[in-house]
């Protein structure tokens, strides 16, 4: 009897995830995960800041690959991310379209401030093999990716976002992409966890279901 319990995923699973992972992974996954594994309680902390998951007592985290601590075990969840500059049709009708990154100085950006450092993100581009950044001007500033997306859809400015966050809004016509030839590709989303977590059945169950979900989404 006790052996059966040891072979069944159960316990309390603590995860830290970035805001962009909420609609992509967390919201679509949790209903089926809870149905499949009712003995696992799930605690999710949504935070775009860098987190020391060992110190904070998390079983695992999800982050963009370049932001992961070096001593973690890493598992890829998505393909690489291509960054995008997007705006609403109404915004472009009113202000026109930037044709080069330098044109952004004549536009309104919705700016992003890092939650931990407080630094305002400079939009990154590439041209002829050279990386450069632009401090896009704007009088709106947020520290939340989903709010950034919603404000762009409302026509309040241009936003710099990962393609995995804007795909549905672009496909439906709520947002349009600009400056694609100048935009970089970076590592995608990865799950990461300390060695002590890799044998946990509860974590393995979550990661197996997450990767299956993302494969179906393509």
Radius of gyration of the chain (CA): 19
Name residues whose C-beta falls within 8 Å of residue 118's C-beta, 6 or more positions apart in sequence.
none
Q: How confident is the model at residue 59 (pLDDT cuts 50, 70, 90)?
A: very high
What is the distance between the alpha carbons of residues 194 and 110, in angstroms, rounded to a whole number?
36
Within 10 A of 206 (CB to CB), how many other CB atoms are there? 24
The answer on pLDDT for 101 being more than 90 is yes
Return the pLDDT at 114: 86
pLDDT tens-digit profile of 62-94? 998 877 877 899 999 999 999 999 999 999 999
């Amino acid at each position: 009897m006790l052996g059966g319990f040891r072979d069944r995923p159960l316990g309390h699973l603590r995860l830290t995830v970035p805001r962009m992972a909420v609609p992509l992974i967390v919201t679509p996954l949790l209903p089926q995960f809870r149905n499949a594994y009712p003995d696992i309680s799930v605690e999710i902390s949504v935070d775009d800041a860098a987190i020391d998951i060992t110190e904070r007592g998390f079983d695992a985290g999800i982050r963009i690959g370049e932001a992961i601590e070096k001593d973690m075990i890493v598992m890829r969840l998505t393909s690489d991310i291509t960054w995008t500059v997007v705006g609403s049709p109404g915004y472009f009708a009113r202000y026109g379209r930037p044709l080069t990154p330098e044109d952004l100085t004549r536009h309104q950006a919705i700016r992003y401030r890092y939650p931990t450092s407080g630094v305002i993100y400079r939009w990154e581009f590439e041209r002829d093999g050279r990386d450069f950044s632009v401090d896009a001007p704007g009088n709106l500033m947020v520290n939340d990716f989903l709010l950034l997306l919603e404000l762009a859809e409302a026509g309040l400015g241009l936003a710099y976002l990962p393609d995995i966050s804007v795909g549905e809004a672009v496909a439906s016509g709520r947002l349009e992409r600009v400056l694609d030839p100048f935009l970089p590709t970076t590592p995608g989303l990865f799950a990461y966890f300390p060695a002590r977590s890799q044998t946990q059945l509860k974590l393995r169950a979550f990661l197996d279901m997450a990767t299956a979900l993302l494969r179906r989404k393509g």
